[in-house]
Amino acid sequence: MKRILLFVSTVLILVLSVPNLSFADTGILVDCDKSTAFTKRLNGSIKKLEVRLAKYDLDSPPALAIREQIEQTKSRFDKYRNSSLLCGTDGLPHLITDGDLKHSGEFVIPGILFLYITGWIGWSGRKYLQTILTTKNPTEKEIIIDVPLALNVMLSGYLWPTSAWNEFVSGDFIAED
């Protein structure tokens, strides 16, 4: 009887502790092209630039720069409007990290690129330090960087995940004490 009671209570706890799935597009976030706050923010930005534009002659350099800024603002808001980004009540696009694959371009892909690039930098620095240890004066090359050697190491470090895996498998990844 104790086993049955323990089993039932364990199953009950597991069932009650499983979180419900929730997706960001079912809450207060809406598509940017349907958001009135987003449109209001666009119109406000354009109006501020047009007020500044009225202070200058039409063909003056500041007026040309402001007109270019207006076009850039319109272009930026059009890109947000045509993307799958969701806007909040503030009219600003929000990045969604809810696990829905249609939002993977907002966070997952840039996150993976960030990890790859930081790994490349770290791997290249590690390889450079290992390489200069074999020279006759490694401390000097650590303080005054040998640029041709560093560039060579950096250019060869783009395949750092496979190099790291090979060193891990061979046992060379971690230095012995």
**pLDDT tens digits, residue range 24-75?**
555 688 888 888 999 999 999 999 999 999 999 888 999 999 999 999 999 9
36 and 90 part of one domain: yes
How large is the angle between the packed helices 108-132 and 147-156, nearest 10 degrees? 130
DSSP per residue, 78-117: HHHHHSS-EE-TTS-EE---SS-GGGTTTTHHHHHHHHHH
Q: Hey, what amino acid is at 3?
A: R
Pairwise CA distance, residues 106 & 112, whole Å = 11
DSSP per residue, 126-171: HHHHHHHTTSS-HHHHHHS--HHHHHHHHHHGGGHHHHHHHHHHHT
Q: Which domain holds residue 42?
A: 24-98
Measured in whole angstroms, the distance separating CA 138 from the mean position of its chain's CA atoms is 36
Pairwise CA distance, residues 166 & 158, whole Å = 14
Question: Domain boundary at 51, 77, 98, which?
Answer: 98
Residue 153 tokens, joined: 């190491």
**pLDDT tens digits, residue range 116-165?**
999 999 999 999 999 999 988 889 988 999 999 999 999 988 899 998 99
CA angle 14, 15, 17 (to 5 degrees): 65
CATH code (residue 161): 1.10.8.110
Q: Given this model, what pLDDT does residue 15 score?
A: 66
Question: Domain boundary at 50, 65, 98, which?
Answer: 98
